[in-house]
Chain A
Amino acid sequence: MIHWTKLEVQPIYKIFGGKFITFFEASTPAGLRPLAGVRIRSEKKVINFPPPGFMDKPNYIKIKNIVTETPFVKTFYFDLELKSRPGQFVMLWIPGVDQKPFSIGSDDGQTFGLSVFKRGPLTEKLFGLNTGDRVGISGPFGKPFSIKPDTHYIMVAGGYGAAPLGYLTAEVSKIGCQIDFIIGARNAENLLFQNKLSELQNLHLHITTDDGSEGHKGFVTDILPEILKVNSEKNTLVCTCGPEMMEKKVLEICNESNTDCELSIERYMKCGNGVCGQCAVDPLGICMCTDGPVVSRQIANQITEFGKYHRDKTGSKIIY
């Protein structure tokens, strides 16, 4: 016989099937089981809006539109009230093939976009799909980049890292922030969102290519110190997403100049909820699917494996 004493209830919100459903978060101090229909959920956990970390059954939804960005990158648009924030990711599932995390490239509240690089069986299959075909989407997952007013943003994007940083740019420009956007790629053909970004008024675009086919010949990190110096009087936040060795270099540069920095760290993921531990990083043991993918400079400095090794799906260390 359960005697109900103190039951503290507060609503939490969850996205399911494109609609918001209100659940109630119950805190029962004596460990009593909440009423049927009431969801047990961490009462102390700070819940970002939307709450991260529910890997529910995927929403099997139609591709609304497909845009070819480069010969290797397409953006897939979906109608879903994802309520994401820049830097978060979704899991995309194609039945019988695989399911992988993709960072969100845009989200206007009704429609979100994923910019996808063709690189394996799942993306091969995805590139063969047409508007109206369906895939499974779950999320959003993970911690986003900070959106701070009165801040000068310096985005450092390597390759496909331009997708989440493009989304962040859209959000921070809405609140009047000035942006320096450094975008780098192997060559001109691989530059992402160059045209879209160059149209923005409060944004200064800097281009680097490894082969010099466009912009500065070299790496994004070649020109970052100078941009930091020019903006040293301002309240600056560097946000970076791209290859790990590039991000590591960005981190070092920011450490040298003591500039705030947020980095999106990629690790192999399975559950997306901090349950399986696949994406835990050394020596902190925190999961990049829940405590990342975006981490602060302070956290990144404590992740000793960053820029040294990551783990494959067996859990074995892979040295960079």
Chain B
Amino acid sequence: MLETIFLNKKFTNPIVLASGIRGVTAASMARTIEDGCGGVTAKSVSKEPRTGHPNPTCIGMDHFFINAVGLSNPGVEKAVEELKEFKKFSDRPLIGSIFAGTFDEFAEVAEKICEAPIDFLEVNVSCPNVSKEFGTPFAYSTEAVETITKKVKERSKVPVIIKLSPNAWNIDVIAQAAESAGADAITAVNTVSGMIIDVYSRKPVLHNKQGGVSGPALFPIALKCVFDIYKKVKIPIIGTGGISTGEDALAMIMAGATLLGVGSAVYFRGQDAFKKITTEMEDIMKAENIDSLDQIRGSAHL
């Protein structure tokens, strides 16, 4: 019922672990398969190791989760070894994820990560938490996204997915630019910029001061981004951002998503959030006489 074909690859269900959640180790990602994921996205890696920001890096609130982990990762070389480990645990689809500070470095990291048995490569041009080091995220610029897409496509051995930012007011136009530059798919969206201030210390809580907002508060924003992008591009979309229930998941499919990224739902609904979401999807589909997700994909546009 939930089986989904994404770029010729079969997913038993459309839920993929979103990048950055439970994605530090292969074993941790493999466990999300047991908890109901159809596939996983690894945490983004860079050319060199990064320690990320000091704590506090993650705060959960009633309606949102906010993080500024700061793209900590062991560097692409060690990440390749970790990704190889994942395939020993599971044969489910594995999406690698990369980021870089320059166009050429994106190409370099893309080539290197393809030494791992990844099925797809997600290109994170949209992290909102490292602008002090890297400047404005590339995802705000049509030209930058085009250039990175082209350079990564040249060097990647697997289909390339560009992950975009809801901070870009013209995310649909940027998605279009990625498509015309050769992207195989779009992930929409990364977290949206935000912050929290502790009134008693009179200070921002996140060490990085600002962070990326995910969880239920992000959902309607992400839904509209996917809705807008679906109108502009033909390539498939991984709808990500605040999906926490079966109802959210189906709405995202109706907006036009093929796969669904789920991450912060773990905070709100526990480690098996993925399984809960797919079970709820099936319950609603049965009640509403929906046989397959293809039947409802993009239905909100009709």
Q: Which A residues form the contact surface with B (CB < 8 A)?
A: 28-33, 39-42, 44-45, 54-58, 60, 91, 93, 95-100, 134, 136, 270-278, 280-287, 290, 311-317
- Cβ-neighbour of B27 out of A45, A136, A285 (below 8 A): A285
* Chain B residue at minimum C-beta to C-beta distance from A280: B28
Q: How large is the interface on B (under 10, 10 to 19, 20 to 34, 35 or more residues)?
A: 35 or more
Interface class of chain A by DSSP: loop
- Cβ-neighbour of A40 out of B51, B72, B201, B245 (below 8 A): B245
> Shortest Cβ distance from A26 into chain B, in angstroms?
11
**Contact indicator per residue, chain B 54-75, by CB within 8 Å of chain A (1) or not (0):** 1111111110010101001111
B245 touches A315 (CB 8 A): no
Which B residues are CB-close (under 8 A) to A290? Answer: 271
A276 touches B27 (CB 8 A): no
A2 to B34, CA, bound (A): 31
**Contact indicator per residue, chain B 204-248, by CB within 8 Å of chain A (1) or not (0):** 010100000000100000000000000000000000000011111
Other than the given A30-B246, A42-B273, 10 more pairs (CB < 8 A) read: A41-B268, A42-B270, A55-B60, A134-B200, A270-B57, A274-B22, A275-B58, A275-B264, A285-B25, A285-B31
Q: Which B residues form the contact surface with A (CB < 8 A)?
A: 20-31, 43, 49-52, 54-62, 65, 67, 69, 72-75, 78, 82, 89, 196, 198, 200-201, 203, 205, 207, 216, 244-249, 263-264, 266-273, 276-277, 279-281, 283-284, 287
> Shortest Cβ distance from A37 into chain B, in angstroms?
9
7 A-B contact pairs sorted by A residue (CB < 8 Å): A33-B245, A33-B247, A272-B58, A274-B271, A277-B24, A315-B25, A315-B82
A29 touches B283 (CB 8 A): yes
Q: Tell whether A313 pairs with B51 under 8 Å between CB atoms, given A96-B203, A275-B58.
A: yes
- Cβ-neighbour of B24 out of A136, A280, A286 (below 8 A): A280
A277 to B62, CA, bound (A): 21
A275 touches B74 (CB 8 A): no
A277 touches B245 (CB 8 A): no
> Shortest Cβ distance from A280 into chain B, in angstroms?
4
B55 touches A134 (CB 8 A): no
The 8 closest A-B pairs by CB, nearest first: A31-B280, A31-B246, A42-B270, A285-B27, A280-B28, A285-B31, A99-B55, A60-B200
A277 touches B28 (CB 8 A): yes
Which A residues are CB-close (under 8 A) to B78? Answer: 315-317
A93 to B57, CA, bound (A): 11
> Shortest Cβ distance from A282 into chain B, in angstroms?
5
- Cβ-neighbour of B58 out of A136, A273, A315 (below 8 A): A273
Q: Tell whether A316 pairs with B49 under 8 Å between CB atoms, given A274-B22, A280-B24, A311-B24.
A: yes
A315 to B62, CA, bound (A): 29
- Cβ-neighbour of B270 out of A45, A55, A283 (below 8 A): A45
A276 touches B69 (CB 8 A): yes
Which A residues are CB-close (under 8 A) to B216? Answer: 40
* Chain B residue at minimum C-beta to C-beta distance from A30: B283
B21 touches A276 (CB 8 A): yes
Q: Which of B21, B30, B60 has the most chain A CB atoms inside 10 A of its CB?
A: B60
